[in-house]
Structure 1
Amino acid sequence: MTRELYNLRPLPAADAPTPLTDEEERRVQAVLFNELGNAIADQGWARFPAYTPEDRRRLVAVAHRLSAHWGRPVSVEAEDPTRMRLFLPGCAG
């Protein structure tokens, strides 16, 4: 008996994170946009963990979206290998 398998994605290597689907990526970006945007609006900066290059890429994309949304730059810097800081230039924190 043969079975048809649909909607399967190849698994990444054992040490690599599982990639997100397009819908999951949009949801994550929306949550980060709202949560980090609120934190930055309240205190001028926000920290968020970034353990993988994909996490860092996602946070940079959120900073660019916030910059476009607010019409003022939102900067991003790595504080250490596992944490990124998004901030409005000129705000202490």
Structure 2
Amino acid sequence: MIRDLYNVRWRPAEDSPTPLTDEEEQRVRAVLFSELGNEIAERGWARFPAYSREERRRLIDVAHRLSAHWGQQVFVEAEDQCALRLYLAGHGPQPANPPLPQA
């Protein structure tokens, strides 16, 4: 017997995060702006986990907001599948073999 199902929706998996409301999203971005901004200002770079596309987008947006706030570019680079690195010029990844000084 075949039955028609009405008003049936997919439910997210139990372990998947629920989407944030607009207010929660604004608060998260404000905290990231403050905390990551302080860490970058202190040592020139910060590392933060980003497991989903939405978390990566959020960190990239924070980097753009910090760039506009400070008037200098804050770069974003994926360190691996689970973390992004935000840094100022001169504090980014160093080449594996730095150039030799000219004699």
Q: Percent identity?
A: 67
Structure 2 alignment gaps of length 5 or more: 1-8, 94-103
Structure number with larger C-alpha Rg: 2
Structure 1 equivalent of residue 33 of structure 2: 33
Give the counterpart letter for 1:91 in structure 2.
H
Q: What is the match of residue 69 of structure 2?
A: 69
1:89 aligned residue? 89
TM-score between both structures, scaled by the size of structure 1: 0.83
1:91 to partner: Cα distance: 1.9
- TM-score of the two chains, using structure 2 as the length reference: 0.75
RMSD after superposition? 1.9
Structure 2 SS opposite 1:60: helix
Judged with a 3 Å threshold, the aligned counterparts in structure 2 of structure 1 residues 33 and 56 are, in CA distance, closer, same or farther, namely same
Per the alignment, in what secondary structure is the counterpart of residue 55 of structure 1? helix
- Count of aligned pairs: 84
Residues 11 and 49 from structure 1, CA distance in 2 versus in 1: closer, same or farther, beyond 3 angstroms?
farther
Partners of 1:11 and 1:18 within 8 A in 2: no
**C-alpha displacement of 1:13:** 2.5
Q: Which runs of 5 or more structure 1 residues have no equivalent in the other structure?
A: 1-9
**Residue equivalent to 2:80:** 80
Measured against aligned partners, the alpha-carbon deviations of 1:58-82 in whole angstroms (never above 9, x if no partner) come to: 0000000000000000000000000
Q: Using the alignment, how far apart are the partners of 2:21 and 2:11 within structure 1? A: 13
Give the equivalent residue in structure 1 for 2:54: 54
